[in-house]
Chains A and B, each alone.
Chain A
Amino acid sequence: MLSINNCQIQIEGGLITLPNITLEKGELLVITGPSGMGKSTFLHWILGDSIRHANISGEIMLNDVPLSGVNIEQRRIGLLMQDVHLFPHLNVLDNICFALPHRLKDEQGSKLSRPQRKDTAMQMLSKINMGYVAEHYSHQLSGGERSRVGLVRALANQPQALLMDEPFAALDPDTSANVSQWAFSQLHERGVPSIMVSHDLNNIPSQAQHLDLANYFQQV
């Protein structure tokens, strides 16, 4: 469960006072608002990244662990960006393996060897019928494929929460609809609480929470 309390975003020109946010497993929160309001900055703050152009304060609790003072590497929060940023020197399979936790163990409790890790990654791809891109590199994928692989990679890391920054904005309307629907069902299935910044309100599931920053903006 992800909760964000007493959060205030101070930007040039005003203050946004957010209501307390609580996300149970598998729930989705969509954040919208005019440009410049600090949506992406808010995501980065949750991630633990250093932020500019705004002052954000608040308390984040992830599974009853407060995150203040915890750096990005240890927060177990995943990130999916618009450009996905699959690492160019690794093929898709290796990108996913890179995300698999280091201490991944099999049923007997011993650490996985290299072939085993690759198998695990392959299984994840095959389950969504994308096994055929395993040896491909990022520049060889279509937009839709890239977005899907990006999500698989993020989920491979077994994150406790996921942040998405306009992940499907660059796709054409049809692909965007397909991929986003598929993504939300995956997240729900795995029980990962997610926060997504988006301009496209057409494709979000009905049970998702919605937060429009403009509603909480007060000019100073």
Chain B
Amino acid sequence: MNNRLLAKSQLSPSNQLYSAINLGLKSTAWVLVAIIALAPLLGVVIGLWPAVELDWAAISRFLGYNGLAYSVASTLLLSLVAPLIALYIAFMVYSRYRFNRRWQSLEKRLAPLLSLPHLAVALGLVYLFSSGGMLWSVLWGFIGQTAPEWLGLPRKSMLTMILAISIKEVPFFLLIFSAIGRQLAIKQWLLQGRALGYSENASWWLIVFPVVLKQSRLAVLAAMAYTLSVLDISLLIGPNIPELYAVVLYNWQTGFTPDEQTFAFLGNLLLIAMLGVLIACIYIHERLVTKQLANHAVMANPLNITWLSGVFTAWLGFFSLLTLAILATFLLWSLGWNTHSTFNTANWSISLWQDEWFFMQGPLLNSLHIAFFSSLLGVGVTLLALELQRHNKRYFPDYLWLLAILLPQLSMVYGWQIVHTSSNASYHSSWIILSHVPFTFAYSYLVLRGPFQSLNRHYELVAASFGYSPWQRWWKVRFMLLRPALLSAIAIAFSVSIAQYIPTLMIGAGRVATITTEAVAIASGNEQSITAVYILVQAALPFIAFLVASILAQRTRGSVDAEHQ
């Protein structure tokens, strides 16, 4: 539109002014978008700026820190294994549900399932399955016995971490696959494969998986980067001899002796190096797997083992059951259950809720207030970024926009904190909102880019031919068609903000309490009943957001994508 105006050889003064304002607005918009998108990178760079004296003695002390190698190795292992397990499970679930009647119910439930916070899943697994956990008490309670001590998931271990993270990442990958899958002619490929004599399951793996894997690189990186840097879950259910790397690094970052400061700086470098290792692993894994599958394809291997995928037909039922069990566990604990209870002897009371409700209001309001603004801002900036790119007819590669979820949170927030403290800024919740925006932006970009790009511009062309101005076309056609996707994006951004821990803790200096920071502080005190209260509230918030979004979405009709059977 701009270019058309400028191309005219004669520009009247009012047109000149108009185009000048337009240019100014556009540049400001670009600057704003660039700041939000590049803030993570800025944070990492600032955090890596050497602020301490470095000499070989310090470096060798750092390298000699007992348990460092083990911490690093176990964290790398966790970050590699858990997301990949989730990826494979998600693919198998996707293959069983996609062209099935059940797909509708899965897709509808996907976003809310995604909204269950990591913390709730992690603690829920422990409260349910650890020795003395709810499941065993109830099962053994039926026969009037107490469950044996050795039975159960360890409370703090690698296994528990792997389980918690892989269970939680499966819905995330399903969402990604669903978006990727819309652009691919999967149905036809499968038909072709079956016509050539391959079973449906084998066709999924031989034909669809290599393509989908290649397009999932960023999603896998996001999951790995998250696992690398996750602090709250590592603190609560991670092993502690030695601790996971995020905990070690955070302890250094919050320490005050000169040694700890040096270690924090070197530790940050190490974290980025670990991220590099993970990126390399992603490529290596992709190479290996696609090569293997291509070999199988050339040999026309019927891949009989793929019948295993069939197991995952039950996944939705299993996952929903698990979610309900976790929520039920928290509810029962909050109402008075403890390790010695059975259903007959437990004394139920809502006193805990009554007591805590008064004190919960502050953090709750903070959470809501922060999530509301940061999600709206994040989605708004996303739309801005997408529009600007559309005007330029050139879309930057995704990884530039998704930096906030591709880089480790500990490093980038550390850098932001340095800027924040040295500029003597206040601790008002506005700064927290700003610190959440890069993340809400990244997630909503992830969700909106596909629908936005695939929106047929012919709709707007037709509207233009009817005489609608650019703004009117944007509002009445593009925006309205995007509405379902927008609602989804807002709900996701909202839950992302609710669950944020590191930014709220570090930028707010602990002064701004949200439901999540309170929940982690209380969970570290190991009192399960009151922890359960806070976790339930934390889990309810995103759920409510999705409920609202889906109700609103049902009242709108829009196109989320191209043909979608």
**CB within 8 Å of B: which residues of A?**
47, 49, 71-74, 76-79, 81, 83, 85, 87-90, 94, 97-102, 104, 114, 117-118, 154, 157, 159
Contact = CB atoms under 8 A, between A and B. Distances in A.
Contact of A118 (B189, B210, B211, B298): B298
Given A85-B188, A87-B189, A88-B211, A78 B299 contact: no
Contacts of A87: 189, 192, 207, 211, 297
Which of B192, B200, B207, B297 has most chain A Cβ within 10 Å? B192
B206 A101 contact: no
Contacts of A97: 297-300
Given A72-B194, A79-B195, A89-B210, 7 more contacts: A72-B191, A81-B192, A87-B207, A94-B297, A94-B298, A99-B196, A104-B300
Given A81-B188, A85-B185, A102-B299, A90 B195 contact: no
20 contacts: A47-B195, A49-B191, A72-B194, A73-B194, A73-B200, A74-B197, A81-B188, A81-B191, A87-B189, A88-B211, A89-B214, A90-B294, A94-B298, A97-B300, A98-B206, A98-B298, A101-B197, A101-B300, A104-B300, A157-B197
B211 A102 contact: no
Contacts of B210: 89
Contact of B199 (A73, A100, A101, A118): A73
A85 B192 contact: yes
Interface in B172-193: 185, 188-189, 191-192
A72 B295 contact: no
A63 to B, nearest CB: 16
B288 to A, nearest CB: 14
Contact of A102 (B191, B192, B294, B300): B300
Contacts of A74: 197
B426 interface: no
Nearest to A86: B192
B301 interface: yes
Which of A74, A85, A97, A98 has most chain B Cβ within 10 Å? A98
B190 to A, nearest CB: 9
B298 A89 contact: no
Given A100-B300, A117-B299, A89 B294 contact: yes
A77 to B, nearest CB: 7
A104 B298 CA distance: 12
B290 interface: yes
- A-B pairs with lowest CB-CB distance, top 3: A79-B195, A72-B194, A102-B300
A72 B195 contact: yes
Which of B194, B207, B295, B302 has most chain A Cβ within 10 Å? B194
B198 interface: yes
B299 A114 contact: yes
B478 to A, nearest CB: 29
Contacts of A114: 295, 298-299
A49 to B, nearest CB: 6
Which of B191, B200, B301 has most chain A Cβ within 10 Å? B191
Interface string B427-446: 00000000000000000000
Nearest to A52: B565
Which of A72, A79, A104 has most chain B Cβ within 10 Å? A72
Interface string B270-310: 00000000000000000000100011011111100000000
A71 B199 CA distance: 10
A78 B196 contact: yes
Contacts of A98: 196, 206, 297-298, 300
Nearest to B565: A52
Given A90-B297, A114-B299, A157-B196, A79 B191 contact: yes
Contacts of A85: 185, 188-189, 192
Interface string B187-230: 01101101111111000001100110010000000000000000
A159 B194 CA distance: 12
Contacts of B207: 87
Given A98-B298, A102-B300, A114-B295, A73 B197 contact: yes
Contacts of A89: 210-211, 214, 290, 294
Nearest to A113: B299
Given A87-B207, A89-B294, A73 B191 contact: no
A74 B295 CA distance: 23
Contacts of B206: 98
A47 B197 CA distance: 12
A1 B237 CA distance: 66
Contact of B188 (A47, A83, A90): A83
Contacts of A94: 294, 297-298
A74 B214 CA distance: 31
Contact of B185 (A83, A99, A154): A83
A3 to B, nearest CB: 20
A77 B195 contact: yes
A114 B298 CA distance: 7
A193 B205 CA distance: 31
Contacts of B299: 97, 102, 114, 117
A79 B196 CA distance: 8
A153 B198 CA distance: 14
A89 to B, nearest CB: 4
Nearest to B214: A89
B305 to A, nearest CB: 15
Interface in B509-540: none
B408 to A, nearest CB: 31
Given A72-B195, A89-B294, A97-B297, A102 B188 contact: no
Contacts of A83: 185, 188
A61 to B, nearest CB: 19
B563 to A, nearest CB: 13
A73 B297 contact: no
A49 B188 CA distance: 11
Nearest to A98: B297
A86 B192 CA distance: 9
A37 to B, nearest CB: 21
Contacts of B195: 47, 72, 77-79, 154, 157, 159
A74 B199 CA distance: 9
Contacts of A81: 188, 191-192
A159 B206 CA distance: 20
Contacts of B188: 81, 83, 85
A94 B295 CA distance: 9
Contacts of A71: 194
A166 to B, nearest CB: 13
Contacts of A157: 195-197
Nearest to A94: B298
A102 B296 CA distance: 10
Nearest to A71: B194
Given A89-B210, A89-B290, A101-B197, A79 B298 contact: no
A159 B196 CA distance: 8
Contacts of B298: 94, 97-98, 114, 117-118
